[in-house]
Amino acid sequence: MTGASCEVVAGPGSVARRADSLVWASEQTSDVVWETLLSCLSLGHRAHGAAPLLHAVAGSLPADLDPEAAFAVLVTDGAAGFVLRHGQVEVTLDGQPLTGGAVVPVSVAGRSVAAGHRDAVRELSDRPPSTRHDLRDGAVAGAAFRWSTATAAVPQVPAEAPTPDRSSDATPAQASQPDAPPDEPPAGGPDLLTKLDGPAVDITDAHAEVTSDPDQTEFHPSPQAGEPTSPGLPRSVGVLVFEDGGTANLTGDVVLGRRPERHELVESGQAEPLVIHDPEHVLSSAHAAVRIQGDEVVVVDLDSLNGTHVAAPDARDWTKLSAGAPYAMTDGCRMLLGWTVLTYRSSSA
């Protein structure tokens, strides 16, 4: 944390904070959406990569969402980050209305960000910042919040890489614990944030979070150039490329997930396990499979909790796969598993 303060104005709604990231939601926001918003807070320590998830959240809200529902999420590392907003919510930066779309990059070092009911935000703007009522962590009732810090730093607005604007029928992903979380929840149970009138939310294991992280993924060795294709050696049909450049060679079917070695395809010898290190617990043990079917390479969701999403090379939208339905991949096709994005590169391309 940067030492920034968070003032909360009493009134209808809920405010939650984790490190330097905050969320405000109106009373009409459902518990399911609230849980998803809470999961976004854990992205603060890697805020530069939060845009894809926030776009996915914005594009996959429930169809039956109350029309009066409104919320704003500030995901930041204390210097820069993003704001996600929906509905009739007021968001200001240094007292000025924030412009832009549903997901907006912001520089916040040495500045203040307020969000919530319009009247409550205006009430905050009429008075100087105070640390008397400072929300350090957790969730409380509130009509608005103001995050502010007097410690100036060189602002660095994260560049928003080309990412999907929305995720068709996507289940928003669950976020990681900040500050290098352990592989397993600490003894005594996971941290909880609680909406005042709703159930406790397990931050480590709620709905699943769009980028991979060099510290999060285990890779198989890179393929060798000029790889032999004799009958004694398996033929590579391509590679799966992770965002940090790591690759997994495809010489047969693979099952991807947190503990894929337990899946029946692996136990029966039909596929090899490809482990994705997942301290956030957003992946299923066996999340998806990549299989070679004749001349095609297909990806199949293995009835994962948070779903498998795909995007063609030139697509801007993510499409959620139906469990068990194979999707034929072409060179450059992207897959989204939890927070991990992989790109398929065909050996024949």
DSSP state of 32: H
CB-CB contact of 37 with 22 (8 Å): no
- pLDDT tens digits along 159-196: 443 333 333 333 333 333 334 333 333 333 333 333 34
pLDDT at 264 (0 to 100): 95
Measure the CA–CA gap between 173 and 209, rounded to whole angstroms: 3
Query: What is the secondary structure of 218-255 as a DSSP string?
Result: --PPPPPTT----TTSPPP-EEEEETTS-EEEESS-EE
- Residue 248, strand partner residues: 240
Count Cβ atoms within 10 A of the Cβ of residue 254 and give its class: 0-12 exposed, 13-18 middle, 19 or more buried: buried
> What does the pLDDT read at residue 152?
36
**Rounded to a whole number, what is the distance in angstroms from the first to the last CA of the chain?**
46
pLDDT for the residue 146:
92
CA distances from 271 to 248, 252, 257, 310, 336 (A): 14, 7, 13, 21, 20
Per-residue confidence (pLDDT) for residue 87, from 0 to 100: 94
> In sequence order, what DSSP letters do the residues of 245-282 get, joined into one string?
S-EEEESS-EEEESSGGGSHHHHTTSSEEEE---TT--
Q: At what angle do helices 31-41 and 51-59 cross, to 10 degrees?
A: 170
In this prediction, the residues of the chain whose per-residue pLDDT falls under 50 are 151-233
pLDDT tens-digit series, residues 222-275: 334 444 433 444 567 899 998 878 888 999 999 999 999 989 999 999 999 999
Residue 113 has a pLDDT of 93
Architecture (CATH level 2) of domain 238-346: Sandwich (2.60)
**pTM surpassing 0.95?**
no
Task: Enumerate the domain spans of the chain.
Answer: 5-202, 238-346
* pLDDT at residue number 234: 55
Do 265 and 293 contact (CB within 8 A), yes or no?
Answer: no
Q: So what's the pLDDT on residue 165?
A: 37
